[in-house]
Chains A and B, each alone.
Chain A
Amino acid sequence: MTWLVLGSVIGGIIFGYSIIPDEIIKQMDTIITCALAFLLFLIGIDLGRNKSVIIKIKSLGVKILFIPISIALGSILGASFAGIILGMPFNESSAVGAGFGWYSLSSVILTQMYNAEIGTLAFLTNVFRELFAFMAIPLIAKHIGKCEAIAPGGATTMDTTLPLIAKTVGGEAAVMAFINGAVLSMLVPVLVPLLIKLPF
Chain B
Amino acid sequence: MSSFKAFDIAGSGMAAQSVRLNTTASNLANAESVSGDKASVYKPRHPIFQAVRASLSTQPGDAQANPAVKVAGIYESQAPAVARYEPGNPLADTNGYVYAPSVNVVEEMVNMISASRSYQNNVEVMNTSKELLLATLRLGQG
Q: Are A and B interaction partners?
A: no
A residues apposed to B, CB below 8 Å = none
